[in-house]
Amino acid sequence: MATFSKTLPVLATPDVLVCGAGCAGVGAAVAAARNGAQTLVVERCGFAGGFLTAVIGAGFDGLVDSRSGRVVVGGVALEMVARMGLVPGATDAAQLRGMRFTRNADLVIAARQVAEGRTHLCSDPEKFKLAADRILADGGARVLYHTQVVDVITAGTGTDARIGEVVVANKGGLGCIRPKVVVDCTGDGDVAAWAGAPFDLFERPQPMSLHFRIGKVPASPQLQQRCAEVLRRAAGARGHLADLRALAGGVARVPPWAWARPPALRQPWPPPRVGRPGRST
């Protein structure tokens, strides 16, 4: 153990400090700022979106009631989908509200829906980052990227205890923010836990899963088979034998046109070579 003590500069004194700029953080910050609160967001990555952009989420789960196809979530979430321009013909949330979707967007299902000419809610990391920056700026929230919350300074005891300052670290070193209200959107409850709030931790946490995207590779059955084999071996090596059957069918071949690519990255597809899009060559 070591003791560390330092007097920290107060970097900001916002009304509301939102820790983490994932989906929850973007929603909280936009709502706070639009309601007139001076709002600051602190995010350890260099962009917003959390899981959806840093880990590449496949789609927006839960926005659509899968039985009726009706959009059942509104607010900032739906506005973000509209701003991302993912659904042809829907440039604002009100238009999306009136639409029917076949179901929630699973990667493979979404690809099939596109093939059938139906709408879907598949996410796009780069569009999300841009839309998040714009919705935060338009609402009046300020964002401090590349800044990690590392601790809190609490005042008072028992039920009177409250967070006085949130300690952050970035290239400028250590500093603190003194907000009136803190909203913990770290996805892990970091701030609440450091502040001493009680929490439950499941003794067997969900194993990490790896999401990634490969571009410009012809999707062939052989490639799919080889990917499945690599995953199978990895699962075997880690002793997750029960997962083998799921893994064998778990490699999704998504046709390139199923991804909405930002204009800057949009390239002609298929690349000039022999073969058809999404087919083995």
Ligand X SMILES: Cc1cc2nc3c(=O)[nH]c(=O)nc-3n(C[C@H](O)[C@H](O)[C@H](O)COP(=O)(O)OP(=O)(O)OC[C@H]3O[C@@H](n4cnc5c(N)ncnc54)[C@H](O)[C@@H]3O)c2cc1C
Return residues touching ligand X (CB under 6 A): 19-25, 42-45, 50-51, 57-61, 148-149, 185-188, 190, 209
Q: Which is nearer to ligand X, 37 or 105 (CB)?
A: 105
Q: How far is the CB of 128 from ligand X (least distance, A)?
A: 11
Burial-class residue 81 by CB neighbours within 10 Å (0-12, 13-18, 19+).
buried
Give the ranges where the chain is alpha helix by DSSP (H).
Answer: 23-34, 51-54, 75-84, 93-97, 107-115, 125-139, 190-194, 221-237, 244-248
Question: Which residue lies nearer to ligand X by CB, 218 or 247?
Answer: 247
* Residue closer to ligand X (CB basis): 183 or 218: 183
Choose between 151 and 220: whose C-beta lies nearer to ligand X.
Answer: 151
In whole angstroms, the minimum distance from the beta carbon of 111 to ligand X comes to 14
Phi, psi of 105 (to 5 degrees): -90, 100
Compute φ and ψ for 196, nearest 5 degrees: 95, 10
At its nearest, how many Å lie between ligand X and the CB of residue 243?
13
Cβ contacts of 16 within 8 Å, gap of 6 or more = 28, 29, 32, 33, 37, 38, 39, 40, 179, 180, 181, 182, 183
Q: Residue 71 CB: number of other CB atoms within 10 A?
A: 20
Question: What is the smallest separation between the CB atom of 106 and ligand X, expressed in angstroms?
Answer: 8
191's tokens: 């701030």
Nearer Cβ to ligand X, position 135 or 218? 135
Q: Judging by DSSP bridges, how do beta strands 173-177 and 162-170 pair with one another?
A: antiparallel
Structure tokens at 110: 């979404």
Question: CA–CA separation, 188 vs 106, rounded Å?
Answer: 24
177 or 218: whose CB is closer to ligand X? Answer: 177
Residue number of the CB atom closest to ligand X? 22
Residue 206: CB minimum distance to ligand X, A: 7
Alpha-carbon Rg for the chain, nearest whole angstrom, is 22
- Shortest spacing between CB 110 and ligand X, in angstroms: 10
**Minimum distance from residue 273 beta carbon to ligand X (Å):** 31
144 vs 219 by CB, closer to ligand X:
144
Q: Which tokens go with 69?
A: 């196809």
- Distance of closest approach, residue 23 Cβ to ligand X, in angstroms: 4
d(CA 169, CA 32) in angstroms, rounded, equals 24
Cβ closest to ligand X, residue 93 vs residue 191: 191
b (16+ CB within 10 A) / e for 11-31: bbebebbbbbbbbbbbbbbbb
